[in-house]
Chains A and B, each alone.
Chain A
Amino acid sequence: MAISSASVSLSENLTVADPRGLSDEAILDRIQRAAFGYFTETFNRANGLVADTTRPGSPSSIAVVGFALSSYPIAVERGWITREDAAQRTLTTMRFFWNSAQNENADSTGYKGFYYHFLDMQSGKRVWHSELSLIDTALLIGGVLIAGVYFSGSNQSETEIRELADMLYRRVDWSWAQINKFTLSQGWKPECGFLHYGWEGYNEAAILYVLALASPTHPLPASSYSAWTATYQWESLYGHQFLYAGPLFIHQFSHAWIDFRGMRDEFMREKGIDYFENSRRATYVQREYAIHNPHEFEGYGENCWGLSAGVGPGDRALRVGGRLRRFLSYSARGVPYGPDDGTIAPTATLASIPFAPEIAMPALRYLFERYPEMAPERMLPSGLNPTFPGNGSAAWMSEQYFGLDQGIVVMTIENYRSQLIWNLMRRCPYVTTGLQRAGFTGGWL
Chain B
Amino acid sequence: MDQHKFERLVLPDESYNSALLQTAHPPAWRNPEPRDKYNLVVVGAGPAGIITARAAVAVGAKVALIERDLVGGECINVGCIPSKAIIRTSRLYAEMRDAENFGAQIPTGIKIDFPAAMERMRRIRARLSRFRGSAARLSSVGVDVYFGEARFAGPDAIVVDNKTLRFKKALIATGARPKSAAIPGLAEAGYLTNESVFDLTECPRRLMVIGGGPLGCELAQAFSRLGSRVTIVQDEPMFLGNEERDAAQILSDALARDGIAVHLNTQTVGVRVPGKEKVVDLVSDGDKTTVTVDEILVGIGSKPNVEGMNLESAGVEYNSEDGIPINDFLQTSNPRIFAAGDVCSEHKFPHIETAAARIVVQNALFFGRRRLSALAIPWCTYTDPEIAHIGLYVTEARAKNIPVKTFTVLMHEVDRAITDGEEEGFVKIHVREGTDKILGATVVASHAGEMICEISLAMSSGIGLGALANVNHPYPTQAQAIKMAADTYNSTRMTPTLRWILKQWLTW
A-side residues, CB < 8 A to B, are 129, 131, 189, 191-192, 195-197, 200-201, 230-239, 241, 270, 292, 294, 322-324, 326, 336-339
Contacts and interface: CB of A to CB of B under 8 A. Distances in A.
Contacts of B394: 233-234
Nearest to A196: B265
Most B Cβ at <10 Å: residue of A239, A294, A323, A339: A294
Given A129-B287, A323-B101, A326-B257, A292 B412 contact: yes
Nearest to A190: B286
A322 B398 CA distance: 46
Interface of B: 98, 100-101, 236-237, 245-246, 249-250, 253, 256-257, 265, 283, 285-287, 394-395, 398-399, 403-408, 410, 412-413, 423, 426, 428, 433, 488, 491-492
A235 B286 contact: no
B253 A236 contact: no
Contact of B492 (A131, A231, A236, A324): A236
Contacts of B285: 131, 189, 191-192, 195-196
A339 B253 contact: yes
Given A230-B395, A231-B395, A323-B101, 12 more contacts: A192-B285, A196-B236, A196-B285, A230-B399, A234-B394, A235-B428, A241-B405, A294-B412, A337-B246, A337-B426, A338-B250, A338-B253
B387 to A, nearest CB: 13
A337 B249 contact: yes
Contact of A337 (B101, B250, B406, B433): B250
B249 A294 contact: no
A280 B408 CA distance: 19
Contact of A323 (B100, B246, B256, B410): B100
A336 B395 contact: no
Contacts of A239: 488, 491
Cβ-closest 3 pairs across A and B:
A191-B286, A294-B412, A192-B286
A189 B286 CA distance: 8
Contacts of B491: 239
A192 to B, nearest CB: 4
A201 B237 contact: no
The secondary structure that dominates the A interface is: loop
Most B Cβ at <10 Å: residue of A189, A236, A237, A241: A236
A236 B246 contact: no
A230 B397 CA distance: 10
Contacts, number: 76
A195 to B, nearest CB: 6
Contacts of A233: 246, 394, 406
A191 B287 CA distance: 9
Contacts of B246: 233, 337
Contact of A292 (B287, B404, B407, B413): B413
A324 B259 CA distance: 13
B398 A237 contact: no
B395 A234 contact: no
Contacts of B250: 337-338
B407 A236 contact: yes
A300 B286 CA distance: 40
Contacts of B256: 326
A181 to B, nearest CB: 13
Given A129-B286, A241-B492, A336 B101 contact: no
A196 B263 CA distance: 14
A230 B398 contact: yes
A164 B250 CA distance: 45
Contact of A200 (B245, B399, B423, B426): B245
Most B Cβ at <10 Å: residue of A191, A324, A337: A337
14 contacts: A131-B285, A189-B286, A192-B283, A196-B285, A230-B395, A230-B398, A231-B398, A234-B394, A237-B408, A292-B410, A292-B413, A294-B410, A294-B423, A337-B250
A227 to B, nearest CB: 10
Contacts of B426: 336-337
A237 B410 contact: yes
A234 B399 contact: no
B410 A338 contact: no
A230 to B, nearest CB: 5
Nearest to A131: B285
Contacts of A238: 410, 413
Nearest to A340: B253
Contacts of B257: 326
Nearest to A187: B285
Contacts of B395: 230-231
Contacts of A192: 283, 285-286
B405 A201 contact: no
Contact of A197 (B237, B286, B403, B433): B237
Contact of B405 (A195, A234, A338): A234
Contacts of B283: 192
Given A189-B286, A326-B257, A235 B245 contact: no
Nearest to A292: B412
B237 A236 contact: no
A195 B426 CA distance: 30
